Structure formats: C-alpha cells, structure tokens
Amino acid sequence: MERSGIPTAVITNLVTIAEQVGAPRIVPGRGIPYPSGDPSLSPQAEQAWRRRLVQRALDAVATAVEHPTIFEVDVVERADA
C-alpha cells in the first residue's frame, strides 16, 4: 500500500518482523492477539491507550520517513490504570 502511495501505519506487537519486511511506519502494540488493545487495563484506561495508539498512527502517516521507522507511544496508562 505504501508502494502504491498510501502512507500506512501498521499497529503490531511483532515489531521486528514489521521492520524486516520493510513496513515504513510501525506503531508498537502490546500483544499479538490485541494490536490495538490491552486487556490488562481498566476499560477507561484501555480506551485512552487505544486513542493515543491511533493518534500515534496518525502522526506516523503525517511524517516523512525513508526506511522502517518505529513510532513509540509513551507509556502512561500503566501507572494510573
């Protein structure tokens, strides 16, 4: 999709694989079975986490990259979960 001109942020826990296959914009999630969730959090904290994850994915598609680049999300929910 990137090659066809659609900047695409991939949200995944398998960051090294995403890097190796050359995905240009990578946002790390917290688990393989729940890329955009975290069942260990309270429902409110999980929604806040997901919102920031998607916000980060939007940052990624609006940022110029030249090679596989990881867009980390800052951790805050763990503390106030």
Give contact residues for another protein (rule: CB under 8 A).
1-14, 16-18, 20-25, 29, 31-39, 46-47, 50-51, 53-55, 57-58, 61-67
d(CA 49, CA 39): 11
Locate 30 and state its tokens: 């917290």
Sign of CA dihedral 58, 45, 19, 14: negative
d(CA 72, CA 58): 12
Q: Give the nearer residue to another protein in terms of CB position, either 55 or 80.
A: 55
